[in-house]
Structure 1
Amino acid sequence: MIIKPENSTYELMERIKRNDSEAFEELFENLWEPLYRRAKTILLDEDIAKDVVQEVWVDFWQRRDEIVNDNIEAYLMQSTRFRVYKELKRSPLKKDHLTYLDTVECHSSTDDVVIFNQTEQMIHHSVDQLPNRCKQIFKMSREEQLSNAEIASQLNISKRTVETQISFAIKNLKLRLSSFVFWIMF
């Protein structure tokens, strides 16, 4: 995501609330792709994923005055998740997928949630400990879900360098997290 330094998401949101379509367009251009990838990953259908993300953006524009500026990216990701879930409920072909999601949600206990949160914190902390370039490449790969070729193109480096950096990051994370995983198991 590339938001111009002078246009933080907070500032963009303030401008959007004043009906600034250019600010909306900038936010849209920067966040459409991650929202689309999130929807497509779950729905496994490009066209439906595009429709879902379009609905999220329409709803966002219509409700722009009601939205709090805390974390617009998180708000839009959550909105996408809810729209995806709604789409899964509507689609008869996706009933098995929805049943699986419901089952997973029903079986998670408080302990599971605590362990998940601790694990997530540990992973984020471990990623933050990586060298800057390695961390950047790893986040582009895992959080933004860019391909190695896309990362190489954006950073103007070879695809092999991207692969090496991701491999280094994974080995480093495994090493850092191995003792934590052992602790969780016992």
Structure 2
Amino acid sequence: MPLANKTKRLPVEEIPLLLSAIGRDRDQQAYKRVFYFYYQDLVRYSFSIVRDYSIAEDVVADVLLKLWLLEGKAMEIQNLSFYLFRAVKNSSLNELTKLQRQDSLDQNYEVMDPQNPEQLTISKEFVANIEHAIELLPPKCKTVFLLVREQQLSYAEAADLLGISINTVNRHVQLALSKLYELINKK
């Protein structure tokens, strides 16, 4: 079955019913209806940001999966189109940032001589120190830090996922950065 809009327009009055069916009843047919209705438009939108079709498809699949994983919270969405397009925009921008960061890292590693054992040892030690410092963070602080920094969730997404305020997420990230700086500079 092609991933295309099944109708020209999803009736506005049907959206709360679909969200309720997805969130409360875990109705896969309702989810598929939303998925197939929005998929192509969301992929086109993501593609306009990331300029890579396979990445755009991955971004949209992740966003739509997150909608399913919201369960009961899906019913709180006031404007489904706005929610999905905003989520795709944020995820696409995060992906673009991640790709740019990866390109930058790749360029840095090209400069480093892979045959130089001293540089490799220093790099491995530095990474090990960072990983060890992350492990020493308080559990909640560590969870928030990993969601925001490694999973690339926004503060709002992390707050929503953990059921805490955005200010609390911010406080945990600042605390984590402070402790990491402290722990890494001790060595």
Q: Tell me the TM-score range normalised by the shorter chain.
A: 0.3 to 0.5
Name the TM-score, length of structure 1 as normaliser: 0.47
Name the TM-score, length of structure 2 as normaliser: 0.46
